Structure 1
């Protein structure tokens, strides 16, 4: 795998800005590399098309590419999420030089966060070389069938009639409600479904399911009203989304991600039939403690 990727990469990464690269070919390279745990990093969408969209939305100074190596950032005010390092050229000195160049472009950004698969040994070495701080582990959990039956009768599929109640829930969860509402509702199509938990006339939580008929489906996002947490609402939402994927879309498996500190949730998912199948380590790089 590494040989074929390296051969294709050298002709893609000719410049150091997003506007100078072939977005389509670069997206294919990144997607292909990220399919193997020995190269996998976080903050990347699953599909090639979504990666293309992400790349096209990044500014020139948010990306650095050299030979067989890619690093990009998604800025969030004074912090950023890092995509990478994605590479087939395992050279720590090259990563260090590229990282120094990238961070010097953004003096306003104080912290950067990475997710690196635990089997991506070079990525782990790069985190140590850059003197990042380990924050925890995120597990991917997979179920091929459900082993427990949860009462999910309070969970319903979203329809416009519930828009006002759904917006009330969003007000409880987010500062910029209008932006979040648009982001979620605009995403709904044949591949994304939204389910709500309705109780006592109140929408108390929601879950987003990415559906793929006769393939793997993904539980992408679960949120619960702040006033009704620790009541099993998130569990019911996950259980309903999983049952829906198996029964209505003939899913071959369901996947979700969960942070290692959420012990109670992990125990519930395992009881439901999920098993840990992958883990990503979460790191933070802080400029003040950096050695650049």
Structure 2
């Protein structure tokens, strides 16, 4: 007998293991979600905070067997929610619309926009997004830099962001990424020993920044954003920022690879990443839908 219900706290371990298994397969991969079960569990319990996961995720059981998980990570300040999944056992996909209705019943009134981020090989979710009238926002390419190429990183002159350059960094970020999942102020609030902004100052002038996040516990890290002032482009600032960030990230033991996501149409950026040493990993597609 099929049962679809809101997740309980004691199910988070089983749920994170289920997500990890499916998210390691490109045919069921969702870009928002991790691939390590412990990392996923930690994120669900600690980072999904605007609406707790016990009020935003639903699970589907056939008898005692877990066959599906679907949820959202709400950002009430931005009035949006990122959809986690659907993660469903492939031969049970027919339950997806029942799960979707159950999950959307949990959405708070403050959420106006839903976002989906499936791998392009995840044809089921790709089609679901279209069937639910989501609009395609962008194509994204994910690139990977592995530790065994770390010897290619030469000396670079980046420095950690200091208060005197907060305004410069926020203005550049918000102008280059006006609709990003973090604005400049939100990045400032996230900074800690594992989340850093590095900058380059040329002759006393702010030239560019890069924001990176490390998860040493899981041996993972990501380059979230970086941008260069118009007047400084073509001067090697982008390459220096990337190399400086990579050198810092690889100071953590167990950090074997770094990923970043870039708009697939941004050929210049992709060429820069490849020049530094990044390799192609996979393609994702961003969908969005206004629901209010």
Pairwise same-fold verdict (TM > 0.5): yes
1:41 — aligned with what? 30
1:127 — aligned with what? 129
2:81 — aligned with what? 80
TM value normalised by structure 1 = 0.73
Aligned-pair distance for 1:116?
A: 0.7
Q: What are the within-5 Å matches in structure 2 for residues 1-292 of structure 1?
A: 16-19=5-8, 22-45=11-34, 47-48=39-40, 49-55=42-48, 58-59=51-52, 60-67=54-61, 68-76=67-75, 77-106=78-107, 108-144=110-146, 145=149, 152-153=156-157, 155-157=158-160, 162-166=162-166, 169-170=169-170, 173=173, 179-185=186-192, 188-189=193-194, 192=195, 194-203=197-206, 204-210=208-214, 212=216, 218-224=221-227, 230-231=233-234, 232-245=236-249, 252-287=256-291
Structure 2 Cα separation of the partners of residues 18 and 200 of structure 1 = 55
**For 2:16, what is the secondary structure of its paired residue?**
helix
- C-alpha distance 136-24 of structure 1, shift in aligned 2 (>3 A): same
Gaps of 5+ in 2: 62-66
Residue-pair matches, total: 268
Structure 2 Cα separation of the partners of residues 247 and 56 of structure 1 = 30
Aligned-pair distance for 1:137?
A: 1.9
Aligned-pair distance for 1:275?
A: 2.1
Aligned-pair distance for 1:94?
A: 1.9
Gaps of 5+ in 1: 1-9
CA contact (8 A) 1:216 1:254 kept: no
Root-mean-square deviation over aligned CA pairs: 3.7
